[in-house]
Amino acid sequence: MLSLPILIKLLLLHSLALVCTAQSFGFFYLVQQPRLLLSHNRDFGIHGLWPNNDDGTYPSNCNPNEQFDPSQISNLLSQMQTEWGSLSCPSSNDTSFWEHEWDKHGTCSGLNEEAYFSAALTLKNQSNLLQTLTQAGITPNGSYTLSNVQSAIASGIGHTPYIQCNSDQSGNKQLFEVYLCVDTSASNFIDCPVFPTEGPCPSSIAFPSF
């Protein structure tokens, strides 16, 4: 049996190892985009849950020793396939997409694999973006002011989102992704310390059909 001093040393070494691999950060972005899900329901699906710093930088690929293990999320598989499917068209392998998200972002989250993916799914359903927008009269295949879209979501979750736009085939700007900010416990929505700079939107945008 190990003596108490040796056990204490081992615990200290383990704690130091955790400190070395863990990365500090300021908040998460929960990123969602409207699309046709595997269930054939039209809804917002998850792109990712991304640790970010308050200065706009972000950690990535924090621990190569924490390899993605699909067995760790077997209890979430059905929900993952429905709400966090691959973004590629035609759809690529979902598992490869989840592996990428875990390797790049999840290993920096301070959460284990199951907790990381479970937190994103819970937050996605708490935000309920499509219902929130629909209740405000903002529905797919329409054009709206950016401020009205932001206000509708802010009324639903209590915090202003960042809306990222891209262009349709005619060059018109349309809603592409919604960024919501989350505290470092991945439990609560918060005011965004900083907004992204990618894909800024004009004052009027389309909500594309999907």
- Asked about 101 being catalytic, the answer comes back as yes
Q: Say which of 83, 105, 113, 177 is annotated catalytic.
A: 105
Q: Say which of 40, 99, 100, 101 is annotated catalytic.
A: 101
pLDDT, tens digit only, all 210 positions of the chain: 545 454 344 333 343 334 344 559 999 999 999 986 655 578 999 999 999 999 999 999 999 999 999 999 999 999 999 899 887 655 568 999 999 999 999 999 999 999 999 999 999 999 999 999 999 999 999 999 999 999 999 999 999 999 999 999 999 999 999 999 999 999 999 999 999 999 999 999 999 987
Q: Say which of 14, 40, 47, 66 is annotated catalytic.
A: 47
What distances in angstroms separate CA 8 from CA 1, 2, 19, 21, 22, one per listed residue?
A: 13, 10, 17, 20, 21
pTM above 0.75, yes or no: yes
Residue 80 and residue 99: Cα distance in Å, rounded? 12
The alpha-helical segments, DSSP class H, found in 137-209 are 146-157
Q: Say what the pLDDT of residue 189 is.
A: 98
Separation of CA 183 from chain center: 12
Looking at the DSSP assignment, which residues form a beta bridge with residue 49? 30
- Asked about 14 being catalytic, the answer comes back as no
Structure tokens at 122: 């819970």
Q: Say what the pLDDT of residue 23 is.
A: 59
Residue 110 and residue 75: Cα distance in Å, rounded? 21
Structure tokens at 137: 């009269």
- Asked about 114 being catalytic, the answer comes back as no
List the one residue out of 23, 24, 35, 31 whose CA is nearest residue 196.
Answer: 31
Q: Say what the pLDDT of residue 21 is.
A: 45
